[in-house]
Structure 1
Amino acid sequence: MSWRLLVVPLAVAALAACSPAASDVDGEVFATGPMAPAAAKQPDAVPVVVDTDLAPDDLAALALLLRHPRVQVVAVTVPQTGELDCRGTGLLGDFFDALETVPPPVACGSTPRGEDGVMFPPEWGAGALMNSGLPRDAVGGELTPVRTPAAELIARLARRHLGLQVVALAPLTEVAAVLREHPVAYARLGGVTTMAGTVDSESHADGVGEWNVGADPVPFAEVLAGPVPVTVLPDDPVPPGAPDGLAGPVVGGLGRVPGFESPKYWDLATAGTFVDGSAATTESGTWAVDTSDDRGRLRRTGDGPVRVVTALDTAALDEVYRGVFR
């Protein structure tokens, strides 16, 4: 999820989709064609559910986790409260085809937004769908989500994989639904790593400190207070602009359509710190979250287990990206 995106005219989007190469705002051209084969999965690869709203920067993070040898993505879930709801699954056929990756099960969320949530601006979702930077001329076709609702699928996988991890790049609507509706299964999770919230950064909008929390703030607060370890990557430590290590085939164009660039790639940084925790400095504690006035604003209130990332080693993250996006 990007919190500030600019919609471009459809004619520009069409030209970008047909272009043989993607470029950033400085005109730099990124590699085209297929990516090198991904490294083989290690026998002890960690099972992961990726909860995402399928915005362009989410796709970059998803690609990293799909290709990383120490991660086994066992499902992708899409809440209806994010920037893109399950309309975004229309991108996934081309996405998995471009990565030459067999798709895991994809499940749509059925849990509605809470009364304290603020809907993403509708034009952001439309723009993300049409201006992702993903090649759309692949032959992979549409991907059909499974019939099982997202929260139920996460619960089933938690029962099957003790220590299942959730990497959440969207509002925590469905993750909190597992906590409420399937508490025993939820307690089997190994952890939740979430891109959400802000500590000291400027608010993203009136009443919204950060959009992933602002879109459905109470579920975020529930997960923070829940029985499973949580790591939060707020927007504070993430520099603006795309990282150098993202300049590769397929992923190099994600979120870089002129006029619709992602201002920060903290979805990708969230995935990067998940696979290389040494790239993040964290502060543990109990954290209060504003759920009504400046939704997503975090404040440390005492000692506790929730880890909030306060600094990133961006050079180390670039090495992670380069090693995976070959």
Structure 2
Amino acid sequence: MVTTTLGADSAALGDFAGLARLRRGAAAGSPQATREVAQQFEAVFIGMMLKSMRAATPGDSLVDSDASRMARDLYDQQLAADLAKKGTFGVARMLLRQLDPQAAGAEPVPSGDGVAPALDGNALAALRRIEGIRRDAGLDAATPASSLPAAFKPGTPDAFVREVWPHAQAAAGELGVRPEVLVAQAALESGWGRSVPRHADGRSSHNLFGIKADRSWNGARVENSTLEYVDGVPQRQVDGFRAYASWGESFRDYARFIQQNPRYKQALENAADSSAYLHELHRAGYATDPAYPAKIQRILGSDALAEFLQTAAVKSAPRG
């Protein structure tokens, strides 16, 4: 029912089954499917270049961790999807000319002519172009966070944990679960707060738990792309999600959602056991991803949470 949200269009980077279906639609002569196929493959192409660029750049061993790498990968996926949507590198246009020359308004290009004129066969130039776009958009690492608009300020797993911890404690007290479990679940659903669904004007929905806006929801809502698993196969869909005014409201609504929904009764009865709680949530249909509980457990063991909990324990320890 509820599933991890990666932000508009970014989920397609890992949805290869969806790409196959789009390819079949394009082969059947659907102009819309043809255009989307081209755009999806451009996103995959850009994602591969970003991955190569990351691999060629030395990491910072002092702050690098599984958690920070997860957040970075989610950010790169969203960036690749956004660049592909704008047709930045021309890969989609080239593929569209191959798949549907009439729709593209051009003659098909021979397969040996390269990938796209915008790249000129020079991968390094393409990577530099990505870096230039990042700088122009104010997303380069050298740009001070304070100079960026609030909606685009980069975050870290550590900052995310510190920001939501008080709200997690309050919600955990209502449910009887450990607060770090809720932080880990919110981190998975939102990409450590970086991939929260947004309104059309860019405002955050503050939806950290991927709770959808069904018929019972009378509040604000936002449309967003999401990855659902159907018979174990990931499929991209667009759904309505609940929107809140703050992170605290998101945690409070999550607690109400779990408490008021009868199908999560077993999860609540096992709230004291984190593993059992997550298993029962998944079994009741909270998420369709078969690996949902395991992914949250991995985040529970991440450096960001471990270091925060250790610091919190030291601060709360009685002083002699």
Give the number of the structure whose residues are more often helix, by fraction: 2
- After TM superposition, the score normalised by the length of structure 2 is 0.27
TM, length-normalised to structure 1: 0.26
Bigger CA radius of gyration: 2
Question: Which has a greater percent of strand?
Answer: 1
